Amino acid sequence: MDVLSLKGKLPFEILESIAGRGISEFTPPQEEAIRNGLLGFENMVVAAPTASGKTLIAELACANSILTRRSKAVYIAPMRALVSEKYEEFKQAYPYLKTGMSIGDLDSSDEWLSSCNMIFVSTEKFDSLLRHGINWLQNVGCIVFDEIHMLGDTSRGPTLELLITKLINTCNAQIIALSATIGNSDEIAKWLNAKLIKSEFRPVALKKGIVYGGEAYYYDTGGKTEVKKELEGTNKLPELLLVQDTLSQSKQILMFYSTKRNAEAGAIKAGAVVKGMLKREEQMKLEDLSGKVLGILERPTEQCVKLSNLVKEGVAFHHAGLLNAQRRLIEEAFKNNLIKAICSTTTLGLGVNLPAHTVLVRDTNRFDGGSSEMMGVNEVAQLFGRAGRPKYDKEGRAMLIANTKEKIEELYKNYILARPEAIDSNLGVLPVLRTHVLAFIAENFLNGKGKILQFLGKTFYGHQYGNEGHMRRIIEQILNELVEFEFITQEDNDYYRATKLGKRVSELYIDPLSAKWIIESLSKAQDDVGLLYVISNTLEMRPYAKATEEAEAMFILYRYLYRDSKLLEEYDRMDYGFYDPVRAFSTALMLRKWIEEVRETEIIKEFRSTPGELYTKITNADWMIYSAIELSKIAKNPVHRLIDLRVRLRYGIKEELLDLVRLEQIGRVRARALYVNGIRKVSDIRNNREAVTKLLGKEIANKVFAQLG
């Protein structure tokens, strides 16, 4: 279908924007969506491979709703990086529309969003906005749910499912759900009362194959014809041979591993191959990029040094242990064909749009708690979907590795020939529902047990299972718990109202069980470690830090020293549901090291962690301390200790530096440098300008002086 054939059917601004990007024809999925009522505001589920044009379908629906119905449109995705990417794309395509993005503070209604035409949010953020009572929901004419297959995810799926159910039952908006191919897209479409657009179209053909020895075994679309092709290269290790073969074609490769350690080891091996295939100009640019990667932290960690050295060789590893700024640098360099190979954990497959000519899923087995499990067909297909760059490649190839001749047949049956699995709801478990039931009541959305059950019957869980008896038992238990916690009151047999405390817990977006633990335990904390343990021993801080020998010994010592407070005895109470107190205590010790100004490198080494994990812990702890402050205010308990601790945690400083870090440009390293040179308060800066300039440098010092008026 020619784009210009919609002249007169679509607002001129949309056609102009599409044509301005060099798009003259719609892809088959886009054409099918248009013919099935996309522009007539029909609900749609679009199940199609990566790069088939799903984003443009969503864009058409949103822009059409904004420009023809004068309504708002909302784009919702599970990953913050994905939300940011789509926000930037839309803002560039429609600069005259007021576009906003909110993925951060979960305790804010972000009133400024009410003036936006197009709004980009993460799943949790939009759920949080509803809890804060936004007043513009009825003005929304189109809602896009990207990565709808995340319904089957055990952690994110339930929030997504309840959010969708709430929105389709409270606002009259067109629903557009996007997904890679899944086994039961028809079932999801039926649940959403939507038309299903299902397609196998890819703008770049995908060759699926298996590497064994020095050869690649490919299969035709029916999975019947086997074609063997010798790979170009000399390396005996299959994954490195594939790297050589890919780079010999002037292409790039993404390699997926089961663990962070495997990804890093893979990058080290790949670097030895790639560095000899780089051009001189590329080496110079990579040298500069390497310096940027190394300089993200004031004091680089071992991981920073390792990544920086690998970048010089044209490769990188990519996993949750990286700092966000490092991750962005790596992704941008790969998009610009500067980095030739990325060795990643599977999380990259769910994030930003980062295609490559060749994708290798090296590990198809995961090891968890000593047991091994196979990756699902859907997950491997999602990773395979990264193969082939529409603007640069005529075909992409997605590969697996067989270590024996017999393994070829097994991998072929399990992943190349196999049909995608069905997506199942994970809603029917108590911990998942507890926070949402409180939110229903706190928002005055659903105040009765009967209405809650009726609503849950409309969820995907209710659509799939219809198990009202099971759900009734869970809801009754949750309601009893929330009454006992004093977060809600029961006014008659079937009517509940949130208390002031319960409403605040819901707004803070923390689990009611975590809130109850914090409220009961804060007064028992005797020192910083005790306070940090209260914060750490919550559901939101999982996964906890690894338990060190020091943590095990200190846990026993603290139990003895503070036996009267019984803070460390509470884990025996099964109603809190915390079964790993030593690891929670170890997390508290990790945070304590941070606020005692121990270097990141030492903390990471001691707790066998990564920079990304450390800073994620610090960020999560900051939120939990903020929540503790807010809950303490309602309970009329003192908060000064918590406020000081929050500042110390944010900057990683001892108490004596609290005054200095009030100024921008002064963090833990600069504050300590000033302090040891006798400049210990802000007032000292005024009286020692020459010394401050010498310590901080002229540029930074001038910025500091400017804040002093």
- Residue ranges per domain, the chain? 3-198, 205-416, 432-507, 510-652, 660-707
Q: What is the pLDDT of residue 223?
A: 54
What mean pLDDT is predicted for residues 445-467? 92
3.40.250.10, 3.20.20.70, 3.40.50.300, 3.10.20.90: CATH of 3-198: 3.40.50.300
- Both tokens of 654, joined, read 């001892």
Whole-angstrom Cα distance, residue 282 to residue 269?
20
DSSP 404-429: SHHHHHHHIIIIISPPPPPP-----S
pLDDT digits (tens, 9 = 90+) for 611-650: 999 999 999 999 999 999 999 999 999 999 999 999 999 9
Q: Is 60 exceeded by the pLDDT of residue 578?
A: no
Instruction: Dig out the tokens for 447 from the structure.
Output: 């105040």
CA distance 343 to 587: 29
Average pLDDT score over residue span 452-470: 91
Q: Is 42 exposed, middle or buried (0-12, 13-18, 19+ CB in 10 A)?
A: middle
Percentage of residues of the chain with pLDDT beyond 90: 69
Who contacts 277 (Cβ-Cβ below 8 Å, separation ≥6)?
244, 247, 248, 314, 340
For 538, what's the count of Cα atoms within 13 Å in the CB-facing half-sphere? 31
Cβ–Cβ under 8 Å, residues 112 and 152: no
The conformational region for residue 382 under phi > 0 = left, psi -120 to 50 = alpha, else beta, is: alpha
Distance in angstroms (rounded) separating the CA atoms of residues 154 and 16: 42
Looking at residue 9, what is its pLDDT?
Answer: 87
Evaluate if residue 169 carries a pLDDT over 50.
yes
> Any idea which architecture 432-507 has in CATH?
Orthogonal Bundle (1.10)
- Structure tokens, 679: 């400049």
| DSSP string of 586-620, one letter each residue | HHHHHHHHHHTT--HHHHHHHTT--HHHHHHHHHH
Alpha helices in 36-177 (DSSP H): 54-69, 80-93, 123-131, 157-168
Tens of pLDDT along 89-104? 999 999 999 999 999 8
A 10 A CB-CB count for 22 gives: 7
- pLDDT at residue 577 greater than cutoff 60: no
Strands 205-212 and 72-77, bridge-based pairing: unpaired
Please give the DSSP secondary-structure letter assigned to residue 22: T
Residue 220 pLDDT > 80: no
**What's the mean per-residue pLDDT of the chain?**
91
Strand partners, 209: 218, 399
Average pLDDT over residues 146-166: 92
Residue 574: per-residue pLDDT: 44
424-440 pLDDT, tens per residue?
999 987 778 999 999 99
- Per-residue tokens: 483: 């009454």
Question: Are 253 and 357 within 8 A, CB to CB?
Answer: yes
| The pLDDT of residue 565 is above 80 | no
> What residues contact residue 382 under an 8 Å CB cut-off, 6+ apart?
50, 180, 349, 350
Alpha-helical regions (H) of 608-697: 611-634, 640-651, 668-676, 682-687, 689-696
Pick the CATH number of 510-652 from 1.10.3380.30, 1.20.140.10, 3.40.50.300, 1.10.3720.10: 1.10.3380.30
- Give the position of tokens 């060099």: 22
User: What six digits make up the tokens of 202?
Assistant: 């890819």
593-598 contacts, C-beta under 8 A, 24 or more apart: 594/618, 594/649, 594/652, 595/528, 595/645, 595/648, 595/649, 595/652, 595/653, 595/654, 596/654, 597/652, 597/653, 597/654, 597/668, 597/672
Tell how strand 226-230 and strand 215-219 pair up. Answer: antiparallel
- Give per-residue pLDDT as tens, 258-282: 989 999 999 999 999 999 999 999 9
Element (H, E) at 585: helix 581-595
Of 4-13, 268-277, 362-371, 410-419, where does the model show the most confidence?
Answer: 268-277
365-368 and 371-374 strand pairing:
antiparallel
Q: Are 241 and 231 in contact (CB under 8 A)?
A: yes
Coil vs helix vs strand at 332? helix
Does an H or E element contain 373, and which?
strand 371-374
Pairing state of beta strands 174-179 and 140-145? parallel
**Residue 646, CA distances (Å) to 37, 378, 597, 670 in order:** 52, 42, 14, 19
Q: Is 404 left (phi over 0), alpha (psi -120 to 50) or beta?
A: beta
Structure-model confidence comparison of residues 77 and 574, the more confident one: 77
Coil/strand/helix, residue 111: helix
Residue 526 has pLDDT above 70, yes or no: yes
Q: Is the pLDDT of residue 371 over 70?
A: no
Q: What is the pTM of this model?
A: 0.90
Tell me which long-range contacts 284-287 makes (C-beta under 8 A, separation of at least 24).
285/338, 286/311, 286/312, 286/313, 286/314, 286/333, 286/338, 286/339, 287/312
- Distance (Å, whole) CA 181 – CA 601: 43
* CB contact at 8 A, 388 and 205: yes
What separation, in Å, do the N-terminal and C-terminal C-alpha atoms of the chain show? 63
**Cα R_g (the chain), whole angstroms:** 27
DSSP string computed for 529-574: HHHHHHHHSSGGGPSPPPPPHHHHHHHHHHHHHTTTTTGGGGGG-T
Query: Which is more confident, 203 or 176?
Result: 176
pLDDT tens-digit readout, 177-201: 999 878 899 999 999 999 999 998 9
**Residue 579, pLDDT above cutoff 70:** no
What's phi and psi for 546, nearest 5 deg?
Answer: -65, 140
Q: Tell me how far apart the alpha carbons of residues 38 and 169 are, in angstroms, rounded to a whole number.
A: 20
CATH class of 205-416: alpha beta
Confidence of residue 684 (pLDDT cuts 50, 70, 90): very high
Average pLDDT over residues 457-475: 90
- What pLDDT shows up at residue 575? 52
pLDDT interval class at 570 (50, 70, 90): low
- In terms of Cα–Cα distance, which of 643, 648, 558, 642 is closest to 598? 648
| One fold for 3-198 and 205-416 | yes
Token readout for 421 is: 């699995």
pLDDT in tens, 313-356: 999 999 988 998 999 999 999 999 999 999 999 877 666 778 89
| Helix or strand holding residue 397 (H, E) | strand 395-401
More confident residue, 378 or 142: 142
